[in-house]
Structure 1
Amino acid sequence: MGLIGILVGLAVLIFLAFRGSSILILAPIAGLIAAAFSGEPLLASWTQTFMRNAADFVAQFFPLFLLGALFGKLMEDSGSVTSIADYMTKKLGAERAILAVVLAGAIVTYGGVSLFVAFFVLAPMGIALFRSAGVPRRLMPAAIALGTSTFTMSAMPGTPSIQNAIPMPFFGTTPFAAPGLGIIASLIMLAFGMWWLKRRESSARAAGEGFGAITEPAEESAEEAAENPIVRERATTAGPFDPAEIHRSEAAAKNPPILLAALPIVVVIVVNLLMSFAILPRMDTSFLAKPEWGGVGLSAVGGVWSVIVALTAAIIAVIAINFRSVPELRATMTAGANASVLPILSVASLVGFGAIVAALPAFADVRDWVLGIGGGPLVSLAVATNILAALTGSASGGLTIALDALGPTYMKIAAEIGMDPALMHRVAVIGSGTLDSLPHNGAVVTLLSVCGVTHKEGYLDIVMAAVVGALVALAAVIVLGTLAGSF
């Protein structure tokens, strides 16, 4: 009965979330359904298991959600994201429209700009570029997804994405875990995605297909997406930014020069690198072992600290550069801060649901099944993160649930066989960013809506660019990691 309860709870969660119901309501209901089937005390399951684990997630990762959303909003309202995208499109030209959109998205998201901020800035600009180049509008969502939601989210070493941060406390790793494997995976994702999109573009040109009918301006599509409550509910489980805050403040009248626009992104990367390898390792952090500081070591918090300091430094830089040009700096910062609240509570609710499931006696059978998957621990870890990300429609939610339930077990296995935890970090993060991009995923729904493209028109290309390419890269990392270890 316990296993049936887990499946029923998951079914309720997936079905109603797909229809736009709030995950804040669904997650505890689904968890209590699973607990009821196992005969567990319901109130204790909610207050002692669900809420405590959800609160732990908020306590651990809220600074990253807050600073990431704030930085993204500042970069948007200062015109910095637009300036970078403009520069890429001018340099590459209309004949390389797809590459321009992909690289513009990659630069801003690797630099710490929120996924959804990138969507709402890049989509109108990219559509204008695609129209002038005669590239079908239906390829636009896949091009943006390739640049923003694949290698810069899960594979590039040092990326400040929340997905890359989640494994750090579990495995004692840094944002630069397995850098060589991460770079190889990134190149595979980029090459595969560009091959597919260029192939589709060539086929469309051969068939005489152009941009397509203009049903409404791109700006109106973006405005409607930001105000759509169903889009909002799904989006806030998929990324650390609430789309409803996109238009809460006024943008600068003039974009900054490209060098000043890109400087905060450089700050994120450089400070993250320095904190991870030069500053924190040299600090005396022995005080962390005391009970009042959590009784932990630097490995449990160092990775998160690195990203916190990097994003804080970048926020200071973007404010200093654009202090006079942003018309409503206080409103911009308020919108950025507010944009972080619903996403972290949504993901924390998924984590609470996972905690209830993991505490059920029947979950032992699930754990044994996962660990018994052939191919070794890397394969089973990849399968677990893939499945949970797919079921929840959230890479961060699925990844946290998997590591909360199985992280200590995998660390024990790694110690027994001499495996570098950095390898597990990279496999888990890439695994969470593959099957999460199913039709009900919030990022997919938001992106299609912003671009004014339907699932029927654009989803196949998203699958190929954002899912299949990531799966190929994941397989390559598992094979290389198994043969050569972490590097």
Structure 2
Amino acid sequence: MSFLIVLSALAFLMFAAYRGYSVILFAPVAALGAVLLTEPAAVAPVFSGIFMEKMVGFVKLYFPVFLLGAVFGKLVEMAGFSQSIVHAAIRYIGRTRANAVIVAVCALLTYGGVSLFVVVFAVYPFAAELYRQSGIPKRLMPGAIALGAFSFTMDTLPGTPQIQNIIPTTFFQTTGWAAPSLSIVGAIATVVAGLAYLEWRRRSVMATGEGYGADDGKAAASSSEGLPHPLLSLAPLVLVGVANFVLTAAITDRYGTSYTLTSDLLPGLKAPVETPIKTVVGIWAVEGALLLGILLVCVTAFGRIRASFAEGTKSAVGGALLAAMNTASEYGFGGVIAALPGFIAVSEALRKIPDPLVNAAISVTTLSGITGSASGGMSIALAAMADSFIAGCNAAGIPLEVLHRVVAMASGGMDTLPHNGAVITLLAVTGLTHKQSYKDIFGITIIKTAAVFFVIAVYYLTGLV
């Protein structure tokens, strides 16, 4: 019975997300409904003592990353940098390689720190024009965008500033650059398999004589005239990546293992405040890098962004608040579910998987699929099972950097099921339906999930980290 209660709560939240209802509202409803069926008197204490504590703790740690990422992405879009990069990619890669162009542009923007949702909006007009001129069916486009934005640059490549690569740092005391060699192997495997799949789909569909299809009128790609130089457009993205790498080492060198604020430094403090540096170095490095990227965009494109700066940043802040609160609500939900007897039975069953990396991968990708969120599913899994993952890897002599990479990649595996928010947004922006295009998104989902286990196999065969 306790297992059915947990399963029902997860199913209810998944259904609510699929139907388009707010996770911020329905995550506590689902969690407290499960508590009500388990121990009615505990509903109010659980809400205040577990759900809200977990939710607020998540916001405390990660909201600045959401906020700075959203502002940076919006400014890159407003400055015309993303459009310039798209035009340059088309010019140098070629229109005949439409899938490679789209994947390259999405990957560059995502790895440079631009939010996944911003990437979808920025790339779509140009992707649509490219597909139209190449005669490629439009319904294949979401698969290419998903490969470029929702996969290897989101959680696989070392140093990616996306939140899916940052969350594990606070649990495993690693950095965003964890297991760089394995990361590159996983990224190459994903890209090669993904592009091969997309090209196979393109050839097989076009062989039937199918063309671009109906034009919804939403795509209006501009010309490259008047856009910033591509090298200038790339500069903020490169700066974010380089600064993230430099700050990761510099912060540890400057602060050591911990830093304590005392009344000698700040006389108003009632008690010392100690910060374990290893738990925040990845977050601080990304925040610093994004701040530098924002400053560079403001300096180099102030004339372009000045008129719309106020409204643009308001929009970015609103988007960051929504994204952070959605994930924080799922994190609070996970904290509550993890305390229920039914989840104990589930976690005990998962712990019986003998291999610690396979255990972590299956646990994280399953919960990411159920919640329809990479960051939400990973947060739930790590909140409940991080200690057991760490203990298993320590016992097997597996570096926590490898665990970090496996967990991050697994979060971006089965998360892109039909109820995933990014999938729904992608289809809405492109004017397509699940029936038309989800098959190709799911193909990328399968490839990305398989890449996690490929990386695990590579580690065991070679010891590569």
8 Å Cα contact 1:49-1:352 kept in structure 2:
yes
Query: How do residues 387-406 of structure 1 correspond to structure 2 at under 5 angstroms?
Result: 387-406=366-385
- Do structure 1's residue 472 and structure 2's residue 450 form an aligned pair? yes
Q: CA deviation at 1:138?
A: 0.9
Please name the residue that 1:37 is paired with: 37
For residues 111 and 215 of structure 1, what CA distance do their matches in structure 2 show? 30
- How far is 1:286 from its partner? 5.4
Indicate yes or no: 2:6 matched with 1:13. Answer: no
- Within the candidate set 353, 361, 364, 2:333 is matched to 353
The match for 1:115 is 116
Match of 1:336 in 2: 316
Contact 2:260 / 2:272 at 8 angstroms: preserved in 1?
yes
Contact 1:83–1:258 (8 Å) recurs in 2: yes
**Equivalent in the alignment of 2:255:** 284
The gaps in structure 1 that reach 5 residues or longer are: 221-251
TM-superposed CA distance for 1:25, in Å, is 1.4
Letter of the 1:377 partner, please give it.
Answer: P
Report the Cα offset of residue 219 of structure 1: 5.5
Deviates more, 1:328-337 or 1:265-274: 328-337
Counterpart code for 2:415:
D
State the match for 1:242 in structure 2. Answer: none
Q: Aligned equivalents of 1:143 and 1:432: distance in 2?
A: 19
Query: Is contact 2:78-2:304 (8 Å) kept?
Result: no
Contact 1:5 1:36 in 2 (8 A): no
The TM-score normalised by the length of structure 1 is 0.90
Distance in structure 2 (CA, Å) of the matches to 1:464 and 1:84: 27
Question: Mapping of 1:51-450 within 5 angstroms?
Answer: 51-218=52-219, 254-277=226-249, 279-285=250-256, 288=259, 295-326=274-305, 327-374=307-354, 376-450=355-429
* Contact in 2 for aligned 1:2/1:34 (Cα 8 Å): no
Contact 1:419 1:485 survives alignment (8 Å): no
Cα deviation, 1:463-484, whole Å, max 9, x if unaligned, reads 112x121122111111122334
The alpha-carbon deviation at position 36 of structure 1 amounts to 1.6
Q: Does the 8 A contact of 1:146 with 1:190 survive in 2?
A: yes
- What is the CA-CA distance between 1:364 and the residue it aligns to? 1.9
**How far apart are the structure 2 equivalents of 1:287 and 1:188?**
38
Contact 2:357–2:393 (8 Å) recurs in 1: no
Structure 1 residues 215 and 80: CA distance shift in structure 2, 3 A? closer
Q: Which amino acid aligns with 1:166?
A: I
Contiguous gaps of at least 5 residues in structure 2: 263-270
Cα contact 2:32–2:47 (8 A) shared by 1? yes
Q: Compared with structure 1, are the counterparts of its residues 55 and 297 closer, same or farther at alpha carbon in structure 2 (3 Å cutoff)?
A: same
Residues 262, 360 of structure 1: alpha-carbon distance in 2 compared, 3 angstrom cutoff: same
* Pairwise CA distance, 1:365: 1.4
Decide whether the 8 Å contact of 1:112 with 1:268 is kept in 2. Answer: yes
Over residues 124-157 of structure 1, what are the superposed CA-to-partner deviations in whole Å (9 max), with x where a residue is unaligned? 1101011001111111111111111110001100
Query: 1:456 deviation in Å?
Result: 1.4
Q: Aligned partners of 1:45 and 1:162: how far apart in 2?
A: 27
CA separation in 1, counterparts of 2:145 and 2:211? 19
**Equivalent-residue separation in structure 1 for 2:211 and 2:285 (angstroms):** 46
TM value normalised by structure 2? 0.94
CA shift at 1:204, angstroms?
A: 2.5
User: What is the DSSP-based 3-state SS (H/G/I as helix, E as strand, rest coil) of the residue aligned with 1:288?
Assistant: strand
Whole-angstrom distance in 2 between the partners of 1:189 and 1:402: 24
- Deviation of 1:413 (Å): 2.3
Query: How many Å separate the matches in 1 of 2:206 and 2:333?
Result: 48
Q: Assess if the C-alpha contact under 8 Å between 2:120 and 2:429 holds in 1.
A: yes
User: Post-superposition shift, 1:100?
Assistant: 0.8
In the alignment, is the contact (CA less than 8 A) between 2:9 and 2:34 conserved in 1?
yes
Provide the C-alpha distance between the structure 1 equivalents of 2:99 and 2:122, rounded to a whole number of angstroms.
16
| C-alpha contact (below 8 Å) 2:3/2:342 kept by paired residues | yes
| Conserved? CA contact 1:4–1:37, under 8 Å | no
2:166–2:282 Cα contact (<8 Å) kept: yes
**Deviation per residue, 1:345-364 (Å, 9 max, x gap):** 11111111110111123322
The answer to whether the Cα contact below 8 Å between 1:188 and 1:472 also exists between their aligned partners in 2 is no
SS in 2 for 1:112: coil
CA offset digits 1:436-477 (Å, max 9, x no partner): 111111111111121122211111111112x12112211111
Equivalent residue, structure 2, for 1:3: 3
Q: Amino acid of the residue matched to residue 76 of structure 1? A: E
Given residue 234 of structure 2, which amino acid in structure 1 is its aligned partner? A
Quickly say closer, same or farther: Cα 1:359–1:302, change in 2 above 3 A: same
Aligned partner letter, 1:439: P
Partners of 2:200 and 2:410 in 1: how far apart? Answer: 26
Question: In 2, Cα distance between the equivalents of 1:293 and 1:201?
Answer: 61
Deviation at 1:380, TM superposition (A): 0.8
The letter for the 2-side match of 1:307 is V
2:459 aligned with 1:459, yes or no? Answer: no
Q: Is the 8 A contact 1:358 1:405 kept in 2?
A: yes
